[in-house]
Amino acid sequence: NAGVTQTPKFRVLKTGQSMTLLCAQDMNHEYMYWYRQDPGMGLRLIHYSVGEGTTAKGEVPDGYNVSRLKKQNFLLGLESAAPSQTSVYFCASSTGTQIVYEQYFGPGTRLTVT
Amino acid sequence: GNSVTQMEGPVTLSEEAFLTINCTYTATGYPSLFWYVQYPGEGLQLLLKATKADDKGSNKGFEATYRKETTSFHLEKGSVQVSDSAVYFCALRTPGGTSYGKLTFGQGTILTVHP
């Protein structure tokens, strides 16, 4: 049982390049989330999904797209990377939205855009 | 809107010292409160939580009490260890039938414990 995994762990992009971050969970969770973590700002929600085939915007969605084609995978895409997207990206998943259901986090992807 | 404010870091302590990390919040309704910990190179893990006023969450020697009157959820540990070195995040969630489980995080506090 691997929990939540993210690939890649590190990536350096040039401005304007594109990339996709992959999140996978093996806990059969319905809900999945993408957060970004910036110094002094905590974690902010980018996009989330409440089930296979559904996605929705979070607090800071601009410049990102997501897809949830399979229940276990949640992809985060950057079509044209900008230096402002330099951050650490965390994926999380949960069984449900009630407080009793904990969000489980992946180890993160450190992205640098030059 | 909801917000969480944590004490400025970093915090540096000697082993066996007493730890307090302050956390205050602003929220509509009656939120649930959480402390998450992030060890070096790892993702966030839930450390403890409290779901209503006066509840005390506890885990691994850490404690925090939900104080509605002061809108606070301060994290404490009586005797820290080097292995407690990590980043600590205070967070809240507001309940609701249509909620998607959104967590609002504080900015995080870096704790370093020296032998």
Rounded mean pLDDT of chain A?
Answer: 92
- Note the pLDDT of residue B97: 47
Segment B8-16 shows an average pLDDT of 93
Segment A35-55 shows an average pLDDT of 91
Q: Looking at chain B, which residue has its C-alpha nearest residue A49?
A: B100
Segment A63-92 shows an average pLDDT of 96
Q: Evaluate whether A67 touches A75 at the Cβ level (below 8 Å).
A: yes
Say whether residue B29 is in contact with chain A using an 8 A CB cutoff.
no
Asked if residue B114 has pLDDT above 90, the reply is yes
* Cα dihedral sign, B35-A41-A35-A12: negative
Say whether residue B1 is in contact with chain A using an 8 A CB cutoff.
no
Instruction: Tell me the C-alpha distance between B77 and B84, whole Å.
Output: 10
Segment A3-9 shows an average pLDDT of 95
Residue A25, classed as helix, strand or coil, is strand
Asked if residue B85 has pLDDT above 90, the reply is yes
Q: Percent of chain A having pLDDT more than 70?
A: 96
Asked if residue B28 has pLDDT above 90, the reply is no
Q: How confident is the model at residue A87 (pLDDT cuts 50, 70, 90)?
A: very high
- Note the pLDDT of residue B48: 96
From B46, B51, B108, residue closest to A42, measured CB to CB:
B108
Entry field: residues in chain B:
115
CB pairs under 8 A between A and B: 56
DSSP string, A100-112: TSPPEE---EEEE
Q: How confident is the model at residue A42 (pLDDT cuts 50, 70, 90)?
A: confident
Token representation of residue B25: 């919040």
Say whether residue B92 is in contact with chain A using an 8 A CB cutoff.
no
- Note the pLDDT of residue B20: 97
Say whether residue A43 is in contact with chain B using an 8 A CB cutoff.
yes
| Range in A81-90, A98-107, B96-105 with the lowest mean pLDDT | B96-105
As a dihedral over the C-alpha atoms of residue A13, residue A73, residue B90, residue B29, rounded to 10 degrees, the angle is 120
Burial environment of residue B100 by CB neighbours within 10 A (0 to 12, 13 to 18, 19 or more) = middle
Q: Of residues B31 and A75, which shows the higher confidence score?
A: A75
Segment B41-62 shows an average pLDDT of 93
Segment B54-72 shows an average pLDDT of 96
Burial environment of residue A66 by CB neighbours within 10 A (0 to 12, 13 to 18, 19 or more) = buried
Asked if residue A95 has pLDDT above 90, the reply is no
